[in-house]
Each structure stands twice: as C-alpha cells, then as structure tokens.
Structure 1
Amino acid sequence: MIAQPARFKTPGASLRTRRGVLLWGMSLILLSWMPSCADARDQESIKADAKAQIQAAAASAYYTQPEYVEVRLADKRLVLPDCNHAFEVTFPFSDRATAQLDCSIPAWRGFIQIRLREGGAAFRYNLPLNKGDILKRSHVIRQSTSTGDDNSDRITVLEDVLDRVLNQPVQVGEVLLESHFSISATGSSYKVEQGEVGAWVANEIIPRGNRLDQQSFSWELITGRAPTDLIHQGAQFPMLEALRDIMPGDKLRRSAVKMAPAVRKNEEIRVSIVRGSLTVTNVVLVGRDATIGEIIEVTNAESGRPLRARVTGIGQVEIL
C-alpha cells in the first residue's frame, strides 16, 4: 500500500456565501442602530432648547421667574422636529397650563403641558406692630418674594404663630420670622411703664388716602389711658396711608392707617437701564398697585412697549 498525503479542503463557495451573508446582516444591524442613537441624542438637545424657550416665554407671559415654570417634555413618545429657527411659543388657552409650539420649517405644531409653580412666598406684616402685641390673621398678608429674600427663619405656616406675642416692634412690609415671637404661644401683652408711653401726634391735617410723612407728626409722651394700638416710634411712615382724615392732635393708631402700595397704578417712574458703558433713562407707567418685592408689568411711556419690573422701593422699580 502506498501512503498518499492528506488533502486539506478549501472553503467551498457555499461557506463563503454564508460568511458574506452574515457580515452583511451585521452591517445592517449596526447601520440601523447608529441612527437611532443619534436621534436620541438629537431629541435630548432639541427638548432642552425647547424647554428653555417655553420657560422664557411663560415667565414673560405670566410674570414669574423661568425656574418656576415646569415643562413636561419627558415622554419619549413625544418627538420634536429639528426646527430651523427657534420655536414660536404661545399660550392660546386661559388654563395657564398649555404651551403651543410652532415650527415653520419643517411645518409642525404641538401642544406642551406646563405647570406654574408658586415662587418664593412670604408672610408680611401689613401694619406696624409693637412689642407685646398678639399676632392676628388681619395683621398679615401673603406675597411673592424674590429668591434672594429666602431665610431659614422665615415663617411658612401662619398658624404656627397666630396668637403669639411679638418680642420686638416690627415694620409694615417686613417678613415674618420665627425670631420675632416669644417662646410662649399666648400671653398677656407686654406692659410698659405709664411714664414711658409715647405716641405720634398729628400736627396738621392728613387727608384720607394720602401717604404718611413723618414731618406731619411729632413724638410726644402721653399721660392717662393710652390706646392699645398706637404706632411705635420706629414706624416707617412712607409704607402707611391714612384710612380716614387725620386731624391735628390725633394720636396715630393702627386703626387709622393701612399698608400703602410702594407704587401705584398709572404712576410714572423714571428708570435707568445700563447696557455696557451706555446708560439709558426712560419713564415707565406702572400697571397696578404693588408693594416691595412684587413683579409687575410696566409700559415704556415713549414706545408703549410692555416690560416686566420688580418693585424695589417707594416709587422705585427695576426692569427685568
């Protein structure tokens, strides 16, 4: 018997064909997977831009801060187009919960749900109160406040301090703080010696509705029975207005005054806008009565353009 060398078989045509089909199939899988990942990244970017646009538009429309606008874009079934320009954002309904997005190229329209969260809010005194006064609900108002006014000592639940005794005098418009109150829930009013009792006494007529001026009063010690609601010596007069005509000789009492708005509807206020090295001075018209800290609409008296502003003081606003 003669031994012959073994023959190694070379891959046949069928095997090469199967390998080719396998490689082709894997290529198709990769190609189909890569665009989907790209689309996911694109949607994330598009939605981030749309969210910022909606927040800015809602802040302008509803006089709030963009961070207080919650935009609901998390649903993955919602696919936004890659608009060639910024979306046109409008609010066609009165529910304050729906934003309409329009895109010209590609032509597209969609409706997005939003939620307006309440901004920082604070309880403020609407009258000046004395040390020893017991806080009542009628002494307090609730108002929006800027983020910079946040204070860990601030009262967030009014019922926690109702009927509690103040341990210091407080001003109208001042934010309620825990440190203003004595530890005991209720108690007798703070007593002062009779000889220490003083009052602001009017030295001229103050008509009803007028803002108070300290020059119209003098601080005097009084004898005999003193009213329990006298305005304390450190009161901020510009924050008060007369509820009735105050006559010469009248003692200034809480029952005769109320919290005055810092700015009044249709009041003209001069504001300065700084842009780089350029300062522009304009006159704006106030849209409504408001107190310090509130965000309001004002109108440029020259152009008629509406603007948003924050009330910063008596007769003062800051353009946002």
Structure 2
Amino acid sequence: MNLALAAAALAGTPNDSHGESISQGVDSKHILVSQAQDWVAEDRQLQKSTIEVAPSDRRLIIPVCNTAFEFNYPFASSQKTLRAVCPSSGWQIFLGISVHQSDNALRYTGNFKAGHQLTGTDVELASLSSAIAGLAGDLRAIEGFSLASAVRAGDLVMQRQLVTPIEGYRLNRAVAAGEIVESSSIDSILIASATLSAGQTVTLEQLDGARAARDLAAGKVLSSYDIKKRHQVLITQSGIPRGHPVTRANIALQDYYGKLPNDSLQNYRSAEQMQAIRNLAAGTMLRLSDLTPIDIIRKGDNVQLSVRAGALEITVTMLALENARLEQRVLLLNPESGEEIQAIATAVGQARGLSTVAR
C-alpha cells in the first residue's frame, strides 16, 4: 500500500555552489533513504526491500550530514510518517513510509489426523494476495502444537487448529483385565488435549499400582476409563455388631481398586470414636454412613466431673443419668447430695460442669 510522503525541510542548506549542491544533494538523498529503510526494517522486523521512502519533492536538496541520521515516529498513532534528524547540524525532514509486502501464511504439506504432533516439515510457507483472519503465518508458531482436527495437504494453517499437547501414556504391550499396569508397560507420549476430556486424562500417580479395567491391546493410549485406580481404604477384619465400637483390632487399611464411594474412610483417624449403626460383616469397606459417633458416657457410668471456680478446679465423681457423645450435654447425679448437674462430655468417663439443676 503506497502512502503519501510529507517532506518539509525545516533548516537551510549549506552555502556551496549550485552544481556542488545538486551533486551532494543526490548522494545525501540516497544515504538518507538507505538509512531510513534500515531503521524501519529493524524497528518493524521487515525486509528492507519492502520499504519505500519517497520524497514528496524530487527537487529537494538533502544537505550533507557528517553523522548518521536519527529517526523517530513523530505521531504516536501512526507509523506512516518518519522524522529524520541530522544531529550535527540540527537539520530535519519529515518522510512518508510505504510498505509493500504480501501476506505470509502456512499450508500443510500432507494429510494429518487429529492429534498429530506438528513438526517443521509438516508445513511450508505460502504467499497470499489478501489477508485472512486467524491464519498462522510463522513457522515458529506451530512448534510444540498438535492438531485439534484432521487436515489435508494444501490446507492453510489456522490458529484454531493448533492445540497444546498434554502428556499421555501408551501401552507397549497387551495387558489383561485385572492385571496391574506396571511402569515398564507404558511409554510417555504427547497427545492433543482436544482428543481427551479432562475426566479422561490420567497421571503417573493414578497409574501407580492400577489394574486394567478390561483387556487392553498394545498401543492403547490410556484413559481413566481403562483402569481401576488403587486406593487405600478401611476394611473390617472381623464382624462388627451394631452398637459396637470400631477399633484398630477390627479394621485395617487395604488396597481397593475402582471408583470409591464419596463417604469411604481412608485413614484410621476418620474412624476414631465411632460405632456401627448396623451389623458389618468381615471384609466390608468402612463408610461414614455405616457409623455414628460412639457414646463416651453411658447411663449408669461413673463420671469424673471437673468444675472450675476461678483458679481452683474441683473433681467430683458423679453418676451418668443418660448416654452422651463427645461434646454433648449429659445429665449427671451427685450420689451424696442428690443434685443433678448439667455437664459436657469431654472424654470417656469425663465431663466439665455447666450448671446446677434443683430437684
């Protein structure tokens, strides 16, 4: 696209003879144009041959500048006008800039499937007479990308076709259903993120100790549907009758393969101070819905009641009139005075006082 050149000499020329001025002016004009092309080419990352610097008045005499010209864009909103200044004399001129270049694009050199990892040999440069929105025009722009969809040889490379690959895992041998997927059986590969949903991707941590959910052939790219992940869950080691507490003696952490219920218990701490609300057979996965907090105080138990009065703390043996769980209120009886005391259950056989209830 040609742009009009606005050139205005803002300072006078040297007082030489007319013939010498013309000769010097021609040489100086060539120097000025060449330096302007070099500056614009470097500033805008263009080929020098695509840049035109055309004086508005061909009769204009450019004075000799003893140093290289300095350049800048005088208008912040436009790169169509360039200001050239001779530092040694202060002489300056405004130049118009035209850039002539075709739009660069990339096209595929072959037919490629979705998920194909692109390399430099998969595309080649192409020139277009007019711009097309969304094109990838730089060979460096495809490095590290995969295809989101299949393409054919000659198709232009569009930005929407390029996706960042993610790390995936492919079997290098067949694995039977139920067999553990060992690390030696998988190879790390890069796959297009568009070919797997977020729920299908697997990590090395998830593959560690996992079993095949079905017979898997060599070359299979693994997804979460192909494996049963290994989990550690609490399993009953013996039957636990309803109302009986869960203890380290009747449960243990064991491997479990597959999808876990949301309320499964996966550490001993989660089962502390709990009791069964139904009969649990040996080998049952322990779930929160099977348990309820244990009564740490039972009706008829002797309870050590702690009552604080200022800095003084008194402990009295009381009789529980009802069951209570941890941090629940419990009604206690003083056998000697007959008083009933409201307290909070704090541990097995222990409580802290709240208030006195008149009989």
The answer to whether the superposition gives a TM-score over 0.5 is no
- Structure number with greater Rg is 2
From the two aligned structures, give the one with the greater helix fraction: 1
TM normalised by structure 2 equals 0.31
Q: Name the TM-score, length of structure 1 as normaliser.
A: 0.34
**Which has the larger share of strand?**
2
